[in-house]
Amino acid sequence: MRDVAIIGVGMTKWGEIWEKSLRQMFVETAYEAIADAGIEKLDGMYVGSMSPGLFVGQEHIGALLADYLGQKNMPAGRVESACASGGLAVKCAFLDIASGNSNIILAGGVEKMTDVSGDGATYALATAADQEYEVFHGATFPGLYAMMARRHMHEFGTTRRQLSHVAVKNHENGSKNPLAQYPFKVTLEGVESSTMIADPLTILDCSPITDGAAAVILADMETAKKVARNNPLVKIIGIGHASDSIALHDRPSLSGLEATRLAGERAYKMSGKTPEDINVAEFHDCFTIAEIIVLEELGFCPKGKGGEFTEACNTHIGGKIPVNTSGGLKSKGHPVGATGVAQVIEITKQLRGECGDRQVEGAKVGLTQNMGGTGASSIVHIMEVL
């Protein structure tokens, strides 16, 4: 396979974007990535989007977005893996280039989630769970992750306060990210006294409903070196992808994420790296308990010790492994199809040294972990600056 580098990134402000349509958000973001890369033409495009048909009534968005981007007639398509759709778009772009089929590909993600009611958004998101055995009986994602949190607490002694530390840290990081949906700080007490959603998870344990888009430009290494301007080249050195039973009741444990563990093992093997080599990471913190479990499954701390590891500030900027320097899904936002791409953008900018007040000093190797539903699909990317 050919080596593949990230040569351009683009992301616009996330939040409740009433004044822009799905296509407008995506095109603005894609143009930003194209300008960052210093190119004019693409060989193809993959767009991650979980449920555009349910959120805005629009399917067939690959052709739509290529047309509005001024790249009509190029190969373009939408990919879907629930909340891991963005990560899947990056993987598909990587493979297209690594195989020799294409030289320059845009991997993007977009979701317009606030054009429907809260009930409508809940319905759309619930399609990532098991409809017959979970959703039909009233399960929601806060409820499912609350069960995972309670089981983790029961098995390992994880505390309510340790969950709060995840939210406080990620909002601290997000307060330094001008593109974040909720760029404000929160306190431990504020998290715990906020509205209860599904015991033990309060509203400040949960990622928000978000409109947003993100885009990265990938190229083969020969092309990347030709078009590179002042940007350091960031090489994708490892990818891992795995799936699991979609319903929690079919899994051997509620306190683990097997697909994440397997995806991590595959990415480490491909890259030749270990958890000790990773300088900065972006995790899929759709709920605070998710970040704690992912820490364990990716080998950054022993099983059951994620809460303690977090409470000891190991995941802060300046700690052993800074996690979610962007603010994560919790503070930056979670437009489900775009999240995995935005994670790659944050790591790319960290490795380039472009993150300002939230920069991890000396970062050379970074990791992203994106997952769908309650972890029924998971994708891990490992990147290194050249």
- Write down the residue that tokens 């906020």 correspond to: 194
The mean per-residue pLDDT over the stretch 16-37 comes to 97
The mean per-residue pLDDT over the stretch 132-152 comes to 97
Q: Which domains does the chain have, with CATH numbers?
A: 4-117+209-227 (3.40.47.10), 138-208+236-385 (3.40.47.10)
Give residue-wise pLDDT tens across range 221-275. 999 999 987 789 999 999 999 999 999 999 999 999 999 999 999 999 999 999 9
**Short-list 66, 144, 143, CA closest to 108:** 66
* 75 phi/psi in degrees, rounded to 5: -60, 125
Q: Say if CB 55 and CB 337 are below 8 A apart.
A: no
pLDDT at 229: 75
**How many angstroms separate the CA atoms of 196 and 202, rounded?**
4
Give residue-wise pLDDT tens across range 85-136. 999 999 999 999 999 999 999 999 999 999 999 999 999 999 999 999 999 9
Which residues are tagged catalytic?
Answer: 83, 334
**How many angstroms separate the CA atoms of 337 and 355, rounded?**
23
Q: Say if CB 292 and CB 308 are below 8 A apart.
A: no
Mean pLDDT, the chain, whole residue set: 97
9: left (phi over 0), alpha (psi -120 to 50) or beta: beta
Q: Say if CB 374 and CB 248 are below 8 A apart.
A: yes
C-alpha torsion 178→173→379→334, nearest 10:
-50
- Whether the model clears a pTM of 0.75, i.e. scores above it, the answer is yes
